[in-house]
Amino acid sequence: MKSNRFQILAVCIAIVACVAYASPVMAQGRGNGNGGGGGGGGGEDPVEVPIHYRITQIGELGGNLEAYDVNAAGTVVGSFYPAGYQEAFVWSVDSGLTNLNDIATILVDGQVSTGWRLASARGINEAGQIGGNAQEIATGLGVAFRYDPNTGNAELMPTFSQENYLCAWKDPINELGDLAYYGNGSNGSKIVYVDSSIGFFEYAFPGTVGTVNGINNVGQVFGGSYILELGNAPEDDATLNDYTGVASVSQVNDFGQFTGILYSGNEYRAYRFDPATISFEVLDSRRKGNSRGDLINLPGDVCGYFWDRSYADSNRPVLKTDEHGTINLYDAVNTPENDLTLWDPETLGGYTLQLIDMTNRDSSGFPMILTNRSYEIDGVISKIAFLLEPISE
C-alpha cells in the first residue's frame, strides 16, 4: 500500500475533527433551516439569532482595499493601492495594516531581486506563511510567491515560459506550506503546479476550468467542477473527479466535503457534498430563486448567498450550520455596537457583499467570516473589507 504525508495528515485531521465537531451534531441533530427575516438596519431591533458578530473595518473609505484570506489568529491578507499600484498587505488588530513589500525580501532562483513587487497576498496559513502573486515591475508579468515569516523571504515559484503563473484563487497555501499555482496549457487548459516539501507536482486541468481555486491539507486541488487528487509522488498519476450537474466547486475541506453551485431544475442551488455518503445536500430548499455556496470549513459549516427579493441586492448572505440551521448574517451583525453604514447593501451604491473566507469554529462555537464590499463615490468604484468575529454571550 502506498502511503504519503497527505494521507497520514488526513487521518490525523479526521480523528481530531470527530472529537471536536461530531458530538454536538450527533447530540442536537440538524437545524430546522429557519433563519432570521429582517434586513438589519442600524435603527431596528435585532432579530433573535443564535450568534451575533462584531464588525471590524479593514481599510478606509476613499481608499481601495481587498481582503482575500484570514487565519484563526485573525490575521488578514490581501491587496491595496497605497501608491497608485497594487501591493500586498497583512493586517492584524495589534499591528494594523502592513505593506508586505516593507518586510519581505524577494528571492528569484535563490537570489535577492529588486525587480519585482509583491502585488497581492491571497492566502495565509496558521504558521503565517503567505501565498500570493508578485509582479515584475518592468513588464507587469505575474508570478506566484510564498512568503515565510521566519526568514522574511518571499520566494518566487518556478515558471516555464513568458506568461503569467498565478497562485490559486481562494486557498493557495495549506497548513503544510504547499503552494498551488497555475499557468495556461494547450487549448485553453490549465496546468496546475504544487510546490511542496515532498516534491514538485505538475498536472493538467481540462479547458473548462477558468481558475484553480485552491489546495486543502490532504492534497486535493480544486477548480471549476473538478477535484484533482494528487498522486503519491510527483511522477505518479493523479485522479481527476468530475461531478455531473455541479456548476462549480468553490471550496473543499479536509474531509473532502465541498460546496459551490449545483444546477438543478433550471436554477442554481447552494449545496454541500459529503463523500462519506456520496450525496449532495441542497442547502436552500425554496422553490424559486438562485443560491450558491462559497465557503466550507472543517465542521461542514457553509457560507453563501440565498436569493431574497426583500434585500436591496437580492442576495442574502447566510451561514448554514447543522446545529442552528440558516443564519442571516445581516441579522447577526445587527447589534448596537456595530456601525452598519458601509456593511448595509442599501448604502454607497447597493453592491453585493462578498463572502471571502471563513475559519473553523472558535470557542463561541461559530467561525470568523471575512467579507469585502464594493462601494461607489463620485462615480469611482472601490472596495473595503470587514472581519466578522463571533461575540461570545
Closest listed residue to residue 113, CA positions, set 78, 81, 141, 73: 141
Query: Which residues are CB-neighbours of 183 under 8 A, at least 6 positions away?
Result: 159, 160, 161, 163, 164, 165, 166, 190, 191, 193
pLDDT of residue 353: 85
Query: Which residues are CB-neighbours of 249 under 8 A, at least 6 positions away?
Result: 213, 222, 223, 224, 225, 226, 227, 243, 258, 259, 260
Give the rounded distance of the alpha carbon of 299 from its chain centre. Answer: 15
Which residue bears the cell 475541506? Answer: 253
Q: Is 46 helix (H, G, I), strand (E, B) or coil?
A: coil
* Per-residue confidence in pLDDT tens, the chain, 393 aa: 333 444 433 334 333 343 333 322 222 222 333 333 333 333 345 567 899 999 999 988 778 999 999 999 999 999 999 988 999 999 999 999 999 999 999 999 999 999 999 999 999 999 999 999 999 999 999 999 999 999 999 999 999 888 899 999 999 999 999 999 999 877 777 889 999 988 899 888 876 667 789 999 999 999 888 888 887 666 666 777 777 678 889 999 999 999 999 887 778 889 999 999 988 998 886 656 688 999 999 999 999 998 765 554 567 899 999 999 999 998 999 999 998 888 876 777 767 789 999 999 999 999 999 999 988 888 888 899 999 999 976
What does pTM read for this prediction? Answer: 0.86
Closest listed residue to residue 238, CA positions, set 222, 253, 224: 222
pLDDT of residue 101: 98
Which residue bears the cell 510567491? Answer: 145
The amino acid occupying position 100 is L
pLDDT of residue 39: 39
pLDDT of residue 149: 97
Closest listed residue to residue 66, CA positions, set 83, 86, 49: 86
Query: Which residues are CB-neighbours of 158 under 8 A, at least 6 positions away?
Result: 193, 195, 200
User: Is domain 5-391 classified as CATH 2.60.120.560?
Assistant: no
pLDDT of residue 52: 96
Bridge partner residues of 374 (DSSP): 383
In the chain, where are the structural domains located? 5-391
Q: Tell me the H-state helices in the chain.
A: 5-17, 23-28, 100-103, 329-332
